[in-house]
Amino acid sequence: MRRQRQRIVNNLVLKINTNTVKLIILFINFLKLLFMALIGSFEEMEGWKKARELNKQIYEITSRGRFYYDFALKDQIRRSSISIMANIAEGLERNTTLQKKYFTNVAIGSAGETRSHLYIAKDMNYIDDNQFNLFIKNVTEISKILNGFVQKAK
């Protein structure tokens, strides 16, 4: 009799725990959907706004001095910074969380590529230390914002 009671109690606890876990999972999924819905358009996302400002700065700095004549690096750094902004926009316009995360991850990769190009620009003395540090800070901040977005979307 005692074993039977213990078995019943264990089964009841197991059912309660299973139902609790299911409710928690449902709630987490609801929060993910709510989070995605809060960003109505890519123009509202802070990461996209900062990427847009970065593009403007990249175009300004690559349109002057010796940097202007390094066509390969100028083209690459412009393309990679554009890619950050464009992939954020493309991802946020997609319908599934998986696609949103995929394109956001591509944007993170483009941010890394842009940082790499900045090192070359600094090494070639196209930008000074202050400009370099400011650009690196801005690109790193964009990456952090995008990584946070991906983590919240999981």
pLDDT value at 118 more than 80:
yes
Please write the tens of the pLDDT for every residue from 13-35.
Answer: 566 666 666 666 665 555 555 45
Task: Round to whole Å and give the CA distance between 63 and 74.
Answer: 9
Instruction: Tell me which of 18 and 80 has the higher pLDDT.
Output: 80
For the domain made up of 41-153, give the CATH fold: de novo design (two linked rop proteins) (1.20.1440)
CA-wise closest residue to 91 among 15, 146, 135, 16: 146
pLDDT digits (tens, 9 = 90+) for 97-115: 899 999 999 999 999 999 9
Burial (Cβ within 10 Å: 0-12, 13-18, ≥19) of residue 132: middle
Question: CA–CA separation, 67 vs 76, rounded Å?
Answer: 12
**Domain spans of the chain?**
1-38, 41-153
Q: CB–CB of 99/153 below 8 Å?
A: no
